[in-house]
Amino acid sequence: MSEQSFLVLTALAEEPLHGYAIVQAVEQLSEGRMVLRVGTLYGVLDRLVADGLAERDKEEVHQGRLRRYYKLTDSGVRALQAEVARLSANVRAASAVLRGRGVQAWVGRA
């Protein structure tokens, strides 16, 4: 699973979101590292919907503009769980190696 898909799924895990809210949520989740372009966002959403991990939800008009919401499916929740477990195992392994070298695993931000 690409980092973009992972972050979009994470964003949708809390509640159904419309496109712009997904872009904002991904930027926030990644602490500003990832800014999804609109073309990229729809590439990711198309694939997630195709794989049955996300689906279209309600539509609304906000300030004269269409907003379409997307939500996570049960398969999406399971896929996200599996990815979190995989990444957590990697983090645990890397942390153990770093501790073995006498280096702390987490570097605090200034």
Partner 1 sequence: MGGSGVRNLERRYRALLKVLPRWYRRDREEEMVGIFLAERDDDLDLEHSWPGWGETWAVLGLAVRTHLAAGAAFTGVPARVVWRGEVVRALGMLGLLLGLFYAMAAVVGLVAGPQEPWWRFLELAPVVAFAALLGGRRTLAKVAAAVPLSLVVIAVGSLEDSGYAVWWGMVQLPSLVTFVCLCLGFHREAPVPPARRLVWWGGGAVLVGVVGGLSAATGLFAVALITVVVRVVVFVRGDFVLGRALSLFALLQLVSLLYLVVPSGNLLVPAGFLAVLLVLAVVLPVRRRPKAAPRVA
> Binding residues for partner 1, per CB under 8 A?
2, 19-20, 23, 37-44, 46-47, 49-50, 62, 64-68
Distance separating alpha carbons of residues 48 and 35, to the nearest angstrom: 18
In the complex with partner 1, the residue whose CB is nearer, 50 or 107, is 50
In the complex with partner 1, the residue whose CB is nearer, 30 or 95, is 30
> At 48, is the secondary structure helix, strand, or coil?
helix
Q: Where are the beta strands (DSSP E) in 1-110?
A: 17-18, 54-62, 65-72
In the complex with partner 1, the residue whose CB is nearer, 9 or 44, is 44
